């Protein structure tokens, strides 16, 4: 990792101070004196000596944003410098990692063997505190002295997850850069689509322009041509382009210092109703963004988008009823089956989206919007995605046609749009001093 610039170093120092305060408060509330955070370790595939790419523990990354720290651990003690136990194996099969530059303010001890590291962490933790929590999914075999409720205790995690939604300046800077990387990839992917490339070739164009390896991405890119755009998490890449091009949906993000961006755009291959629907959805999404303010329950935005979608379906002739009738009958849910968005940060779908308090209270979504990941009330510095969709999914639309409200569904017109798959438009946004910051639109504007 290259050396950070001076401004970013200052931001990181402030970030650590805020994170330290949050952990001190969370540990105290949960009844713990200290915490060990393990970075994580790769696990080999079944009957194999190869492991899939490792995603480090996000709690570790928040303290030490480095992707080259597998097997390492942090000891967190309120009022003291964090102690990084860094694993740097003596290895000639792989390049040993260097101590992350972000650990300059930490106490650092390096080890060449995992067992030695874990025992040193254990001994240091037991000397430092009576009640120690272990946060992570590795290393537990060494910590047999922990209290019975000491591994990933819910009370501690609830506090941490609730506070993690509010980002520090360092985190917002990292997410801004993650967005820029993704937008470079999106622009290259769009150019590849216009040139007639296959899904596989479009994905390669994205990776090259974004400057990211597949393992570095926050999630596997969705690169969907034609009817594949109607598969919400489409996971394949056809090697050959379709004989006739109708549409292109790309849902692809970037990663920087462990923080994610998550962006979706949809394009039509030509003019016509599908292209018009994309424009209408884009207009509706931007109008919805104007409704965001501190104190806005996210569920209200989700419901408002369904009402806007009802108007689009009515005005386009896809439904033979008013937008309000479509909403009241639940018909919009057949065209928009997922949630409006989610928290984003150290993870693409960041934790705590349905929490109502640090103590762990939950606000689940209504039964008819069960896929909605976010029900919190929005406030400053809480980045979220806004990603409305309009899809032509046979399974859902067949059910809608057979429902009591099926008489309102224009099946013949919908059939002409089935080859297009669907539309999704996704931006990453947050409030700063009450004003909306759209990371995605700004990055596209800067690249124009």
d(CA 47, CA 117): 27
d(CA 348, CA 344): 5
CATH code for the domain of 245: 3.90.230.10
User: Do 121 and 203 fall within a single domain?
Assistant: no
User: Do 146 and 187 fall within a single domain?
Assistant: no
pLDDT at 104: 87
| Cβ contact 125:75 at 8 Å | yes
pLDDT at 246: 98
User: Do 119 and 207 fall within a single domain?
Assistant: no
User: Would you state the structure tokens that stand for residue 134, as one six-digit string?
Assistant: 């272990």
311 found inside a domain: yes
pLDDT at 1: 40
pLDDT at 2: 47
Q: What is the number of other CB atoms lying within 10 angstroms of the CB of residue 146?
A: 20
d(CA 413, CA 160): 49
pLDDT at 402: 95
| Cβ contact 83:107 at 8 Å | yes
Low-confidence residues in the chain, pLDDT < 50? 1-2
pLDDT at 4: 59
Q: Measured between alpha carbons, how far is residue 258 from residues 102, 178, 218 in Å?
A: 12, 9, 8
User: Do 151 and 282 fall within a single domain?
Assistant: no
Alpha carbon 329 to chain centroid distance?
32
d(CA 171, CA 346): 9
Range of the domain at 122: 6-164
User: Do 345 and 286 fall within a single domain?
Assistant: yes
User: Would you state the structure tokens that stand for residue 70, as one six-digit string?
Assistant: 């597998």
d(CA 42, CA 51): 6
1 found inside a domain: no
- When divided into structural domains, the chain yields a total of 2
Alpha carbon 375 to chain centroid distance?
16
User: Would you state the structure tokens that stand for residue 356, as one six-digit string?
Assistant: 């109502």
């Amino acid at each position: 990792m290259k050396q950070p610039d001076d401004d970013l170093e200052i931001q990181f120092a402030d970030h650590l101070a805020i994170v330290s305060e949050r952990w001190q408060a969370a540990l105290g509330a949960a009844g713990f004196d200290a915490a060990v955070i393990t970075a994580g370790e790769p696990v080999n595939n079944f009957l194999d000596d190869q492991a899939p790419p490792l995603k480090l523990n996000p709690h570790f990354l928040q303290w030490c944003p480095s992707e080259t720290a597998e097997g390492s651990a942090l000891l967190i003690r309120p009022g003291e410098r964090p102690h990084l136990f860094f694993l740097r194996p003596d290895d000639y099969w792989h390049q040993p990692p260097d101590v992350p530059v972000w650990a300059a303010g930490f106490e650092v001890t390096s080890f060449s063997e995992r067992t030695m590291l874990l025992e040193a962490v254990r001994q240091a933790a037991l000397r430092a505190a009576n009640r120690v929590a272990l946060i992570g999914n590795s290393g537990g075999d060494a910590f047999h002295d922990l209290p019975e409720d000491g591994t990933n205790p819910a009370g501690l995690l609830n506090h941490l997850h609730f506070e993690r939604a509010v980002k520090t300046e360092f985190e917002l800077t990292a997410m801004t850069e993650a967005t820029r990387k993704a937008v470079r990839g999106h622009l290259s992917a769009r150019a590849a689509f216009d040139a007639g490339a296959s899904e596989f070739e479009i994905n390669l164009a994205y990776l090259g322009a974004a400057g990211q390896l597949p393992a570095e991405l926050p999630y596997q890119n969705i690169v969907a041509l034609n009817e594949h755009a109607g598969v919400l998490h489409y996971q394949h890449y056809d090697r050959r382009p379709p004989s006739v091009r109708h549409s292109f949906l790309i849902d692809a993000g970037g990663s920087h210092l462990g923080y994610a961006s998550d962006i979706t755009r949809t394009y039509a291959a030509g003019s016509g109703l599908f292209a018009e629907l994309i424009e209408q959805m884009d207009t509706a999404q931007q109008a919805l963004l104007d409704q965001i303010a501190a104190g806005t329950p996210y569920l209200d935005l989700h419901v408002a988008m369904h009402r806007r979608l009802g108007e689009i379906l009515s005005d386009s002739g896809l439904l033979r009823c008013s937008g309000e009738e479509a909403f009241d009958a639940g018909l919009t849910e057949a065209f928009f089956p997922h949630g409006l968005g989610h928290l984003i940060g150290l993870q693409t779908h960041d934790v705590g989206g349905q929490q109502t308090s640090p103590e762990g209270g939950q606000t689940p979504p209504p039964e008819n919007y069960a896929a909605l990941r976010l029900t919190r009330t929005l406030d400053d510095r809480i980045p979220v995605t806004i990603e409305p969709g309009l899809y032509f999914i046979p399974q859902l639309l067949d059910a809608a046609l057979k429902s009591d409200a099926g008489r309102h569904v224009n099946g013949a017109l919908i059939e002409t749009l089935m080859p297009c798959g669907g539309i999704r438009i996704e931006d990453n946004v947050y409030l700063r001093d009450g004003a909306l910051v759209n990371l995605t639109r700004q990055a596209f504007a800067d690249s124009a």
